[in-house]
Structure 1
Amino acid sequence: MGVTLDLRQAIIQRVHDKENDELYDIIDGSVDGDEKALPGLGVLFEIIWKNTDAKEQNHMVETLKQHLH
């Protein structure tokens, strides 16, 4: 479990002081990219999820569901 926390912290540290446009570029460049980027996207999504209200979470789930079928 220590490795997971280290990975989270490394990803958070990498993006901590980035401007909005830099964060956008990091996310946009990782989507459909190398599978090595998936853990980073997961950490960023976790932060978004934890800081989003239930209505927005439900919207994200609905969007996901629509695109899985």
Structure 2
Amino acid sequence: MSLNLRNAIIHNVSGNSQDELKATIVDAIQNGEEKMLPGLGVLFEVIWQNSSDQDKTEMLQTLETGLK
């Protein structure tokens, strides 16, 4: 049986409200479990793909600052 993890994650959160999405993200970060990283990666991929160039630049600046 072939499982597409990306599609499964998107399916699980599709239709969620902003509050539900925020709770999912906060929970994943607070738990700090490695198994949550793919889900956060998929959510970031969706954000990236749906962001303007200006938004992407701001995200990269925030990331760069956070990694210093």
Give the structure-1-normalised TM-score: 0.88
Give, as a single letter, the amino acid of the residue that structure 1 aligns with 2:6.
R
Aligned Cα RMSD in Å? 1.3
Structure 1: give runs of 5+ residues left out of the alignment.
Answer: none
* C-alpha separation in 1, matches of 2:36 and 2:66: 21
Question: Which consecutive aligned stretches of 4+ in structure 1 deviate over 2 angstroms post-superposition?
Answer: none
1:1-69 to 2 correspondence within 5 Å?
6-32=4-30, 33-69=32-68
Structure 2: any 5+ residue segments left out of the alignment?
none
Identity over the aligned pairs, expressed in percent? 44
Letter in 2 for 1:49: W
Write out per-residue CA displacement over residues 43-68 of structure 1, whole angstroms, 9 at most, x where no aligned residue: 00000000000001000000110111
